[in-house]
C-alpha cells in the first residue's frame, strides 16, 4: 500500500485570484485538502501535493453561485434543465432554483436533485402550491386560489438548509389578473419564515412598479432590471423609475436574472443611471436555451421566454464587463454577494481556509468577440470570460456542458 502522504491533495498554481469577500486580488496559489480550502498564499511552488494544476493566466474565484436557476429537472417539464449542465459542468458550483419547488414538491427536489447532483442546490420556494410547472405556462394553475401561506411557511421552515428564500412570481399575466395579491402573500410568507423574497418583473410596470416596490424590504430581491419587456427598471419615458433608487437605498437588492429578455440598451441606461446589480443570475431554462434532452418536436418558440441569443452565466459576466463594470464588481455578483443574499456568507462565496473547496477557474480570452441580445443589438467586446473547470468540495469538474455557448469571433 502506498503510504506516501502529501501535505495537500490539490494545489492550483499561478492563477490570478479575485476574491471580493477577502479583498484578495493578485497572484495566489490555492491548496485543497480533504475537500476543504487549506491555504491561499502567494507561492506554493515548493510544496508537495498529490496533484498540481497549473492555472497560470487563469482567473481563480470562489465557486460561482448562479442566483437564478431553473433546474427542477423533469418535474417542471421542459422548463427545468439538468442541474449539473447549468452548474458544475459550466464552472458554477452553487445554483439557486427560483420558484421550481413548492411546499408540495420540495421533497422531490431534495431527494431526486439536491442529494444526487454534483452541484450545490438551493432554492427560493415558490409561493404557489404547484411551484413553477412548465415555467408558469398554464396560467389557470396560478392565482390567489393556488397559494397556501401556512403550508408554505411550515415546509420552508422544515427545509431551511435548502430553502433560502421565497419566490413570488408575477411575470406574464399574473399582475393583470390578480393585482398585487400574490406579491403580498409572498411577502407574508417571507415575513413568517424570515427569508428574503424575490420578485420578478410585472407586465405594464410603469404603474405597478410604483405599487410593488414599496412592499419590498431590506434583503428582498428585485429581479430583471435589464429586461426588454415591460416591467423592468426603465419607464416608457426612458428613465429609471425613481422608486428603484428609493428601494435600493432601503436595502432592496437587484438581481440581473439575465434570461432571453436581457437588453444591452436597457442595461446601459440602468447602469448609467448609477444602479449596480447586487447579483447576476443567468436565468437559463428549457425555453431559452436548447437542452440536449429536448428531443422530438421543439415547441420552445411558442413560449413567451423563447430567445435565440446564446447566453450563460459567464456570457452575462462578459456583457457586464463590456458595459463597463469592473472585474471585481462582476466577480462579487457571482460569489460574495449571492452568498450574502442567501445568508450563507459564512459557508460559500469566499476563498477562505477551512471552507468547502468550491472554486471556479476561468479564462479571459482577449480578441474581438460578438455578444448579442434578443432585441437584435450586437456588441463587440475585447474580453470574453469562459469557464475552464471548477472544484466542488475539492472534486474537479471540467467545463464540458453542452449549454456553454461557443465564442463568436467579431
- Integer CA distances (angstroms), 317 to 165, 321, 331, in order: 24, 6, 8
Query: Which residue has the CB atom at the shortest distance from Zn ion?
Result: 283
Kindly give the pairing relationship between strand 378-392 and strand 395-398: antiparallel
As measured in angstroms, the least distance from the Cβ of 31 to Zn ion is 37
Q: Which residue, 29 or 171, has its beta carbon nearer to Zn ion?
A: 171
DSSP state string for 88-117: GGGTEEEEEEES---TTTHHHIIIIIITT-
Q: Could you tell me the three cell numbers for 86?
A: 447549468
Contact present, 86 and 44 (Cβ < 8 Å): no
CB of 68 to Zn ion, least distance (A): 6
Spatial distance between the Cα atoms of 83 and 74, rounded to a whole number of angstroms: 11
Interface residues with Zn ion (CB under 5 A)?
283
Q: Which is nearer to Zn ion, 71 or 322 (CB)?
A: 71
C-alpha cell at position 153 = 411557511
Q: Closer to Zn ion at the Cβ: 84 or 283?
A: 283
Minimum distance, C-beta of residue 70 to Zn ion, in the bound complex (Å)? 6
Given its phi and psi angles, is residue 358 left (phi above 0), alpha (psi -120 to 50 degrees) or beta? beta
User: Whose Cβ is closer to Zn ion: residue 69's or residue 147's?
Assistant: 69
Cα 239 to chain centroid distance, Å, stands at: 26
Residue 45 to residue 39: CA distance in whole angstroms: 13
Angle, to 10 degrees, between the axis of helix 313-322 and the axis of helix 327-334?
Answer: 150
Q: How far is the CB of 250 from Zn ion (least distance, A)?
A: 24
Q: How far is the CB of 389 from Zn ion (least distance, A)?
A: 26
- Residue placing its CB nearer to Zn ion in the complex, 29 or 97: 97
Residue 257 beta carbon to Zn ion: minimum distance, rounded to whole angstroms? 6
Closest CA to 397 of 357, 368, 348: 357
Task: Give the Cα separation of 77 and 293 in Å (integer).
Answer: 11
Task: Closer to Zn ion by CB, 97 or 358: give it.
Answer: 97
- Full DSSP string of 327-340: HHHHHHHHTHHHHH
Strands 8-19 and 197-199: unpaired
221 three-state secondary structure: strand
DSSP state of 239: S
Pick between residue 169 and residue 355 the one whose CB is nearest to Zn ion: 169
In the bound state with Zn ion, the residue whose beta carbon lies nearer, of 19 and 283, is 283
Give the shortest CB-54-to-Zn ion separation in angstroms: 37
CB of 197 to Zn ion, least distance (A): 15
Amino acid at each position: 500500500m502506498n503510504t506516501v502522504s502529501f501535505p495537500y491533495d490539490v494545489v492550483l498554481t499561478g492563477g490570478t485570484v479575485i476574491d471580493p469577500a477577502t479583498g484578495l486580488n493578485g497572484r495566489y496559489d490555492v491548496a485543497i485538502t480533504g475537500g476543504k480550502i487549506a491555504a491561499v498564499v502567494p507561492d506554493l511552488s515548493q510544496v508537495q501535493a498529490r496533484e498540481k494544476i497549473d492555472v497560470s493566466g487563469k482567473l481563480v474565484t470562489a465557486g460561482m453561485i448562479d442566483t437564478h436557476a431553473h433546474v427542477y429537472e423533469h418535474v417542471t417539464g421542459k422548463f427545468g434543465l439538468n442541474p449539473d449542465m447549468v452548474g458544475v459542468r459550466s464552472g458554477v458550483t452553487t445554483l439557486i432554483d427560483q420558484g421550481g419547488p413548492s411546499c408540495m414538491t420540495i421533497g422531490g427536489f431534495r431527494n431526486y436533485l439536491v442529494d444526487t447532483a454534483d452541484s450545490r442546490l438551493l432554492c427560493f420556494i415558490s409561493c404557489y402550491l404547484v411551484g413553477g410547472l412548465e415555467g408558469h405556462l398554464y396560467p389557470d394553475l396560478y392565482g390567489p386560489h393556488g397559494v397556501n401561506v401556512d403550508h408554505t411557511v411550515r415546509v420552508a421552515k422544515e427545509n431551511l438548509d435548502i430553502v433560502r428564500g421565497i419566490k413570488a412570481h408575477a411575470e406574464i399575466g399574473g399582475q393583470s389578473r390578480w393585482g398585487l395579491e400574490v406579491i403580498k402573500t409572498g411577502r407574508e410568507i417571507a415575513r413568517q419564515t424570515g427569508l428574503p423574497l424575490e420578485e420578478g418583473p410585472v407586465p405594464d410596470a410603469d404603474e405597478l412598479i410604483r405599487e410593488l416596490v414599496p412592499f419590498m424590504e431590506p434583503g428582498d430581491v428585485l429581479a430583471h432590471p435589464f429586461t426588454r419587456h415591460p416591467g423592468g427598471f426603465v419607464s416608457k419615458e426612458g428613465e429609471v423609475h425613481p422608486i428603484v433608487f428609493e428601494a435600493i437605498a432601503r436595502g432592496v437588492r437587484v438581481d440581473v436574472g439575465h434570461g432571453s429578455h436581457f437588453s444591452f440598451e436597457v442595461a446601459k441606461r440602468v447602469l448609467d443611471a448609477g444602479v449596480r446589480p447586487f447579483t447576476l443570475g443567468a436565468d437559463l431554462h428549457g425555453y431559452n436555451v436548447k437542452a440536449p434532452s429536448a428531443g422530438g418536436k421543439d415547441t420552445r418558440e411558442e413560449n413567451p421566454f423563447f430567445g435565440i441569443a446564446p447566453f450563460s452565466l459567464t456570457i452575462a459576466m462578459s456583457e457586464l464587463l463590456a458595459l463597463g463594470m469592473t472585474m471585481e464588481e462582476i466577480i462579487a455578483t457571482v460569489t460574495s454577494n449571492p452568498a450574502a443574499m442567501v445568508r450563507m456568507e459564512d459557508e460559500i462565496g469566499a476563498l477562505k481556509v477551512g471552507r468547502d473547496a468550491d472554486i471556479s477557474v476561468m479564462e479571459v480570452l482577449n480578441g474581438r468577440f460578438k455578444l448579442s441580445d434578443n432585441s437584435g443589438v450586437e456588441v463587440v467586446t475585447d474580453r470574453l470570460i469562459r469557464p475552464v473547470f471548477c472544484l466542488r468540495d475539492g472534486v474537479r469538474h471540467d467545463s464540458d456542458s453542452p449549454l456553454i455557448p461557443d465564442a463568436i469571433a467579431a
